[in-house]
Amino acid sequence: MNIDFWFEFGSSYSYPAALRIEALAAERGVAVSWRAFLLGPIFAEQGWNDSPFNLQPAKGRYMWRDLERICQAQEIPFRRPTQFPRNGLLAARIACRFSEAAWLPAFVRAVYRANFEADLDIDAPAIVARCLGSSGEDPAVLIKEAQSPESKARLRAQTDEAVKLDIFGAPSFMAGGELFWGNDRLEDALSWVAEHSD
């Protein structure tokens, strides 16, 4: 049984999902495929040059309070970032290039924590390198490899795949052929996999 977890490092509601998914999936015997993508090109197709949470101020104010309540209820540390959304391009290229690596889930969580707990600039290679700290690999080598033309093309192709799957926001989950959108659908998506697998 498998669930595809589609996430964007700048996305606020992806933060609690990224921190929760591995343990929740393991409880149910579901494997997680980590699928980084970029929301920027998808929003640009809608004519948006920014997050909808910035373009719609009332919705943005609501999101920050809602996220605060969610993190409090789930005991997830949260500090509202002083910059939103942050550019997760480098981290996404790494997550896409090394999606199968054993250290990948810990790296993804470290980047989200840097952004939404420590309020750090996840676009800075030094911060990304620190998030790679527990990988057991040389961060400089990983970062260089993630910026190769092949790695860049890979993230572009993965973002194209998200569009083909009708993904329009993050986090999204593909579970047994069904799309689920939002941190608040994570449990539903996992249940769907469990109920609809052979």
In the list 121, 137, 161, 184, the residue contacting a second copy (rule: CB under 8 A) is: 184
Tokens of 60: 């943005």
Closer by beta carbon to a second copy, 114 or else 167: 167
175 bridge partner residues: 3, 178
Element (H, E) at 116: helix 104-116
Residue with Cβ nearer a second copy (8 or 107): 8
Answer whether 128's CB lies under 8 Å from 112's CB: no
Q: Does 161 bind a second copy (CB under 8 A)?
A: no
Using DSSP, state whether 79 is helix, strand or coil: coil
Opening angle at CA 171, ends 143 and 135, nearest 5: 30
Site string for a second copy, 113-152 (x = CB under 8 A): ----------------------------------------
The secondary structure of 16-36 as a DSSP string is HHHHHHHHHHHHTT-EEEEEE
How many residues are present in the chain?
198
- Residues in Cβ contact with 62 at an 8 Å cutoff, skipping those fewer than 6 apart: none
All residues at 6 or more sequence positions from 47 whose CB lies less than 8 Å from its CB, including other chains = none
Nearer to a second copy, 50 or 188 (CB): 188
Of 150 and 195, which has the nearer Cβ to a second copy? 195
CB nearer to a second copy: give 135 or 158.
Answer: 158
Smallest gap from residue 82 Cβ to a second copy (A): 22
- Shortest gap between Cβ of 45 and a second copy (angstroms)? 9
- DSSP secondary-structure letter at 184? G
24 belongs to the binding site for a second copy (CB under 8 A): no
Least separation in angstroms between residue 2's CB and a second copy is: 19
User: What part of residues 33-92 is at the interface with a second copy (CB under 8 A)?
Assistant: 46, 55-56, 58-59, 61-62, 65-66, 69
Task: Confirm if 171 and 14 have CB atoms less than 8 A apart.
Answer: yes
Instruction: Compute the least distance from the CB of residue 78 to a second copy, in Å.
Output: 17
Residues that bind a second copy (CB under 8 A): 46, 55-56, 58-59, 61-62, 65-66, 69, 166-169, 178-181, 184-185, 188
